[in-house]
Homo-oligomer: A and B are copies of this chain.
Amino acid sequence: MATTPDTDKAGSGKPLDDEAARLAATAQADMPLPPEPDDIDDEDDDDEDLVAYTASEAAGAFATLWRFTWPHLRNYKTWLSFVAIGLFIETLFNVIMPLSLKFLIDDALGEEDFQALYTILGVLAAAGIITSIVAVWYERWDARLAAAVISDVRSRLFEHVQNLPAAFFGRTKRGEILSRFSVDMAGYESSVKHFANSAMLPFLELIAGIGLMIWLNWQLAAVALLIFPITLIGPRILTPKAVQANYEQKVNESAILGVVQENVAAQMVVKAFGLQRKAFGWFSFRNNAARRSMADATFLSTMVERTVTVSVLLLHLIVLAIGAYLATIGKISIGTFVTFESAFWEITYNIAHLMHFIPVAIQAAAAMRHMEE
């Protein structure tokens, strides 16, 4: 309880190369009761949201993932190309969709041109249906590819264990070896399984969205791209404060558990001497401290996200105002204005998606380093 939460450790991207530290962490996680509040999933998620990764930590994790996976991936080039084609088609559709809005507005709706209307809608419907079919098709190959890579990695790990000298098995705890096959494989698995969908697709769509914005109006795109410093640097200011506040909350909550534990253990004494009032007083003192620290921790945690939302909103209003002005003076068409809006939302959304994959990649990288030891 006196250490930082587990997720922070795992999430900081530093592999626990010190075996002793890892075992201690495992022992702590297995401690029967009182269970730590961070044993609860939702709590873990909270903490995870709060970890600010540096760009180099993220890049390092992706590099590790790539270096570890590529030798296996290489054996399935056909499947890999199917997945790549699928991702390409899906990204393409995500450009066609907002673009068709532009042509709809400028060429069909404004001009009351039914020929253009039917053509655009026809193209869009065909693209939508083809993309949907392709999506199901490439997900099938992606699932097969992920399963193949994972079982190959497991196989290599088993072979490696077979070839270890007999002395190794005397020295190393059995659970240590098994943990590679269970905990570490599971961490690696989740990153490989979701890589195409949760990392590659948002990344490609992000690039395509930026390209679309620049093509529509590069001056406006230059303003819109301020979203990167806002979403990437912004949270780093508040995050350390929020992490500190969350830590203090945990310390307070563990103090409460201590009071309750003592109270329950000494219940006979409390009852015999009528100490209920006194016991409640001690409890309340701790409880009020926990209440204050919790209010701070909750507020600061929310603010980490809120500051991003608010800055993105204000940037959006600036982009909207400039776009509307350009459209009113006739510098850009109404369709361009609307499509730019939708491309802006698209990139906001894809940045958020990519950010969510970073902790998965970092955990997987730690698992891979542990497997390679």
Contact = CB atoms under 8 A, between A and B. Distances in A.
Contacts of A287: 151, 154-155, 158
A99 to B, nearest CB: 13
A133 to B, nearest CB: 9
A280 B162 contact: yes
Given A104-B324, A158-B280, A287-B155, A33 B295 contact: no
Contacts of A44: 41
A186 B147 CA distance: 35
A34 B178 contact: yes
B283 A40 contact: no
Interface in A146-167: 146-148, 150-151, 154-155, 158-159, 161-163, 166
Given A140-B299, A280-B159, A306-B139, A178 B261 contact: yes
A109 B106 CA distance: 13
B143 A298 contact: yes
Contacts of A358: none
Contacts of A345: 345
Contacts of A261: 174, 178
A306 B135 contact: yes
Given A34-B175, A324-B104, A324-B108, A190 B40 contact: yes
Interface string A284-299: 1001101110111011
A9 interface: no
Given A40-B187, A162-B280, A33 B124 contact: no
Interface stretch (A61-69, A213-221, A225-233, A265-273): A265-273
Interface stretch (A13-21, A110-118, A204-212): A110-118
Kindly report how many copies of this chain are found in the complex they form together.
2
A128 to B, nearest CB: 5
Interface stretch (A50-58, A70-78, A327-335): A327-335
A193 interface: yes
Contact of A178 (B33, B151, B186): B33
Interface string A239-281: 0000000000000010011001101110110110000100110
Contacts of A7: 41
Contact of A40 (B36, B154, B186, B267): B186
Closest 4 pairs between A and B when the two form their complex, measured CB to CB: A33-B175, A42-B190, A143-B299, A151-B291
